[in-house]
Structure 1
Amino acid sequence: RERVDADLSHSVLHTAMSIVLPTYHLKPEDENARFSESKARHIVKEILDSELQWRVDNKWDKQIFETLSKSIADKIKEQCKTSMNIPRYKIIVQVTIGQMKDQGIKITSRCLWDTATDNYASVSFQKQHIWASAIVFAMYTD
């Protein structure tokens, strides 16, 4: 049996990361550096409309919509980060897509956060054969 020793000190992973050093501020100093629920709702609505409006058929493919929900969540997260310029906020996006079949659904969440700095925005989308719900959570971090 051959033994392979991996020397991890010689392998270097190069990744692009932005490092934000702690400031020890418990809230944003600038009012413009806060999460805006209305801006987030506008972003989410635009993305949901553009991604789901073209779905005119009534065929339901679980794998397509699973991939699509992840893609939509990534787009929402990226758009919120870039357009709102809130570097000290952690953005979490949850997207749920379902098929319209005369059923009911309730989507709930619970979070432990600071009501002075943290917030969320939610948008629902409904079409003839599909529905979607997107929730954006924003937590201020230091």
Structure 2
Amino acid sequence: MDVVSSQTKANFSVPGEETPSTSDKSRRVSVFTFPSSKDGTDDSEPVGKASAMFGRRSTFRGFAKTIQKVLALEKLTKLGTVMRPTINYENTYRLTPVDRFHYNPEKVERAIMLLLEAQLANVKYEPKRCTAQTRRITDLVKTKVKQMDFQRYKLVCSVMLGQCNDQGIEAVSRCVWDSQADGCACIHYKNDSLFAVVTVYGVYFE
């Protein structure tokens, strides 16, 4: 069934003014089609109620889509798919290390000496093998010193392996640092076939 809605002006008789004609009363006409009931009765609603019904329906659909998006985002967050924002900490403006976290060269030397004795006690010098051994010892030394928890310190580790062949050798390093906060631990190890020189620098990071 077709329902026709028209917007007309009220027909008032005002002295001195002509009454609008019938054609002027229905200039704006809009047509809405609604399904009629099976028994032939008119189930159409006024235009205002139909518009409200359509508005409520569209609002409900949008609300349902919003809920679906929120649930999907929560699921992805639990699975770890969504990356969380990086946390940036404020600067503490600490220019000197705390006493209990101060770099301790003596403590580092004792720990590294035990490490070298365990790694190189029965090792004979071979150029190719010692190349890989140098990298391995370097990683072990860095891991060992990091476990000592010298907070806010940058660590620099240098390992040198050489053959014992009745020769003399000198290893020299020079650095510019803060003598009050920074430190250096130097460890020498030697067996019948090779020698090792390990240097670990601890530089305080302000």
TM-score bracket for the superposition, by shorter chain length: 0.7 to 0.9
Please state if 1:85 is matched with 2:152: no
Question: Matched residues in 2 for 1:36 and 1:66: separation?
Answer: 29
Question: Matched residues in 1 for 2:171 and 2:93: separation?
Answer: 35
Structure 1 residues 85 and 21: CA distance shift in structure 2, 3 A? farther
Pairing of 1:82-121 with structure 2 (within 5 A): 82=147, 84-121=148-185
Deviations 1:88-116 (A, max 9, x none): 00111111000011111100001110000
Q: Which has the higher helix share?
A: 2
Question: Matched residues in 2 for 1:101 and 1:20: separation?
Answer: 53
Structure 1 residues 22 and 70: CA distance shift in structure 2, 3 A? farther
Structure 2 alignment gaps of length 5 or more = 1-82
After TM superposition, where is structure 1 displaced by more than 3 Å over at least 4 residues in a row? 19-22
Please state if 1:50 is matched with 2:118: yes
Question: Matched residues in 1 for 2:117 and 2:140: separation?
Answer: 13
Paired residue secondary structure (2:167): coil
Q: Which has the higher contact order (CA 8 A, sep 6+)?
A: 1
Tell me the percent identity: 27
Structure 1 residues 127 and 25: CA distance shift in structure 2, 3 A? same
CA deviation after TM superposition for structure 1 residue 87, in Å: 2.5
Letter of the 2:117 partner, please give it: D
Counterpart pick for 1:36 among 104, 110, 124: 104
Equivalence for 1:9: none
Letter of the 1:110 partner, please give it: R
Question: Matched residues in 2 for 1:67 and 1:24: separation?
Answer: 41
Question: Matched residues in 2 for 1:76 and 1:141: separation?
Answer: 20
Equivalence for 1:23: 92
Counterpart pick for 2:139 among 51, 71, 74: 74
CA deviation after TM superposition for structure 1 residue 21, in Å: 5.8
CA deviation after TM superposition for structure 1 residue 23, in Å: 2.2
CA deviation after TM superposition for structure 1 residue 20, in Å: 7.3
**TM-score normalised by the chain length of structure 2:** 0.55
The size of the alignment, in residue pairs, is: 120
**TM-score normalised by the chain length of structure 1:** 0.78
Question: Matched residues in 1 for 2:136 and 2:119: separation?
Answer: 9
CA deviation after TM superposition for structure 1 residue 54, in Å: 2.0
Letter of the 1:71 partner, please give it: R
Structure 1 alignment gaps of length 5 or more = 1-13
Structure 1 residues 20 and 45: CA distance shift in structure 2, 3 A? farther
Paired residue secondary structure (1:69): helix
Paired residue secondary structure (1:114): coil
